Amino acid sequence: MIYLTMLICLISSILITPVVKKLAFVIGATDKPNQRKVHQKIMPRLGGLAIYISFVIGVFIYHPVSPFLLPNALKAIMIGSGIIIITGVLDDMFEISPKMKMFGQLLAASIVIFYGGIQVEFINLPFVNNRIEFGFFSVPITFLWIVGITNAINLIDGLDGLAAGVSSIAIITISGMAILFGNPFVVVMGAILLASTVGFLFYNFHPAKIFMGDTGALFLGFMIAVFSLLGFKNVTLISFIIPIIILGVPISDTFFAILRRIVNKKPLSAPDKSHLHHCLLRLGFTHRQTVLIIYAMAAFFGLAAIIFSQAKTLGSVALIVVLLIVIEIFAEKIGLVGKNYNPLLKIVRGIRYSTVKNR
């Protein structure tokens, strides 16, 4: 049944996207080119609505025959995602203020947390037979996770097919990990969302005919955040890192964007043209090459997450250390923070210079 549902979602997304494209022009949900944008003409940016409608179709088809779709959690996800979609549509049409966008995200997260009961309540500690109960802090931690990941996906939505492709890879990895952890709810929901997103990619990959806009980026970010919570809640500290690794591309890009603004003494909300995809474009890669490189990076993080989940505790710690070093060196090499920001590379050069001098 799930394969038939996925096929219906895929076809629905392919058929609905052109309709949404026309609607975007009618209601003024378009993206005009400027110095920060890569595209050179006015583009419709309501594509996320097609993903959402296809996803809803899939849920309503599969829900009556599935014992895996948890009633309260499912209702909370559908209500919360509806709020996110409304927020995204309004932003695509009128470019609402950051405060209004944040209000919509917090409201959606509230539904998921308080009505759906989806939150991280505790983690088990490695090496010692004990666990940390979050208690009152479980709610703010869950809020931070949902809002953070929602905006992280939004930040990487800068090239044709980039956010949709990276999100698809993350959904595949989360669903695969859910199979290993025995969570059929996340597997089913992830499969439906994946098919809906891939259908949209037919129109969104370079050269794009439509953008997903904030409608799509916020929706995918919200769903990925919730699915990762459902798949890995109340597990060990080591396992809790799995969704962070899976979302390594958007999380690291967001982290370095914050660091870049701090180093350059700019407001955290200040827009710039120094995100991961901008840096790769400046290095001479084409639009399509840049997207494919970032796809490969997302797949690398997904593979690392799977290896991480199967490794022993010491192996997991070693893998994290290696990943952090690789991310930092890569960020310094491409100038993700700035041309003059390369502390780790300076250390490496210093060690290399000392070694050569002592010979």
Residue ranges of the binding site for Mg(2+): 154, 214
- Asked if 171 and 161 touch (Cβ cutoff 8 Å), the reply is no
Cα distances (angstroms) measured from residue 75 to each of 111, 114, 131, 196:
9, 12, 30, 19
| Secondary element (H or E) of residue 288 | helix 287-310
Cis peptide before 207 (omega within 30 of 0): yes
Helix (H, G, I), strand (E, B) or coil at 133: strand
Conformational region of residue 284, where left means phi above 0, alpha means psi within -120 to 50, and beta covers everything else:
left
CA pair distance 358, 11, nearest whole angstrom:
66
CA pair distance 269, 261, nearest whole angstrom:
9
Pairing outcome for strands 122-125 and 130-133: antiparallel
Known binding positions? 154, 214
Rounded to the nearest 5°, which phi and psi values hold at 207? -85, 125
- Asked if 306 and 258 touch (Cβ cutoff 8 Å), the reply is no
